[in-house]
A = this chain, B = another copy of it.
Amino acid sequence: MTTLKEVAKRAGVSVGTVSNVVTGTVPVSSARRERVLAAISELGYQPNHVARSLKLRRTKMLGMVISDITNPFFSQMVRGAEDAALRRNYLLLTFNTDDRAEREKEVISVLRSQRVDGILLVVASEQRRPSHILETIRRGIPVVCLDRLPPGVSVDSVTVDNTGAARDCVQHLLKLGHRKIGIIAGSLSLQTASEGLQGYKEALAEAGIDPRPEWILQGNFRIESGYRLGRQLLTSLDRPTALFISNNLMALGILKALAELDLRCPEDVALATFDELPLMEAFRPHLTAVAQPAYSFGYSGAELLIQRIESKTHAKTPVAIRLPTELKIKESTLGYRFSTRQDCACLLGNS
């Protein structure tokens, strides 16, 4: 690999001059600049970012820790973060944890060894005040948590109001006349999942309905678990007439179960889910969903993180960005108790 020194030799100038041409921070006479530029292109010189990082003690790299890139929610988030990062000339180093706390620990350790300038984190650890995260922050590496917050840690974050969104969604089912509403929640050790369950319970409580324990199921956010729990719930003797599902993948699993059991949606069971995805438009019935701004999670998170990195001001109070969600009502809940199009239109209008 060509080095600054070789370029300098070829152009007949000092390494300092070449560096000044490359970085553009110090003016260089145009005659010399020309010669340097010529030498650079003749030799195909590419600045060594590793050496620069060592010297400057910053890498212009961001660590990104998510649970699984093959989950569309996270791939959107990563794309958002990458787009924001590249605009500011930062690169993204991404890792999957599969929501396993020990993987998260390892990954953060790797990221620190790599000397990333900051970390975007979708926490896996359910543990209170996780030391690896606290320690990272204490060492001056900015961390922005996305979607979920580690309990007991004061840290910048980008989240949505999961409780409120779940409550709105279940209220929508109640308004349609449903009284027997089940929930497929995510793993309750994750904050988002327990918030979703909380919203579900609040909505039922407001309507004066006692939650039925056998209709509250805990999954793991994967297709397979939605399928399995869906079958379980839908084949039970006294099955709910509506289901609230805490994420997109489990919803897909339930659709599969539905098809196998020859149940119609929304006639036999109405379905409402968290997370909306472009590809869900192709599904029939079109699913009622709480749309989460997956891309924005990443984009805003990266912007906030870079701002923290570059402003150096060790802020005392964390910034908490709250992104809006939107309940998008579609066929999977409509049509159940309604016979005329007018009724539906009216309901769509004020929701």
Contact = CB atoms under 8 A, between A and B. Distances in A.
Nearest to A280: B252
A91 interface: yes
A48 interface: yes
Given A1-B139, A282-B255, A79 B68 contact: yes
A112 B46 contact: yes
Contacts of A281: 223, 252, 256
Contact of A115 (B49, B70, B114): B49
A199 interface: no
A274 to B, nearest CB: 16
Interface stretch (A6-14, A29-37, A51-59, A181-189): A51-59
A72 B72 contact: yes
Nearest to A68: B79
Contacts of A82: 69, 94-96
Interface in A63-82: 68-70, 72, 75-76, 78-79, 82
A108 to B, nearest CB: 10
Contact of A50 (B47, B53, B139, B279): B53
A110 B135 contact: no
Contacts of A269: none
Q: How many copies does the complex hold?
A: 2
Contacts of A48: 54, 113, 115
Interface in A193-207: none
B96 A79 contact: yes
Given A50-B54, A69-B75, A252-B279, A44 B139 contact: yes
A284 interface: yes
Contacts of A68: 79
Question: Secondary structure at chain A's binding surface: helix, strand, loop or mixed?
Answer: helix
Contacts of A283: 255, 282-283
Nearest to A80: B70
Interface in A118-175: 135, 139
A307 interface: no
Interface string A296-320: 0000000000000000000000000
A72 B79 CA distance: 13
A72 B282 CA distance: 15
Contacts of A112: 46
Contacts of A109: 46
A91 to B, nearest CB: 6
A26 interface: no
User: What are the 6 closest A-B residue pairs judged by CB atoms, nearest first?
Assistant: A252-B282, A255-B282, A49-B113, A75-B75, A256-B282, A46-B112
Interface of A: 1, 44, 46-51, 53-54, 59, 68-70, 72, 75-76, 78-79, 82, 91-96, 109-110, 112-115, 135, 139, 223, 249, 252-253, 255-256, 259, 278-279, 281-284
Given A70-B75, A72-B72, A223-B279, 15 more contacts: A1-B115, A44-B139, A48-B113, A50-B53, A50-B54, A69-B79, A70-B76, A72-B75, A252-B279, A255-B284, A256-B281, A256-B282, A279-B279, A282-B283, A283-B283
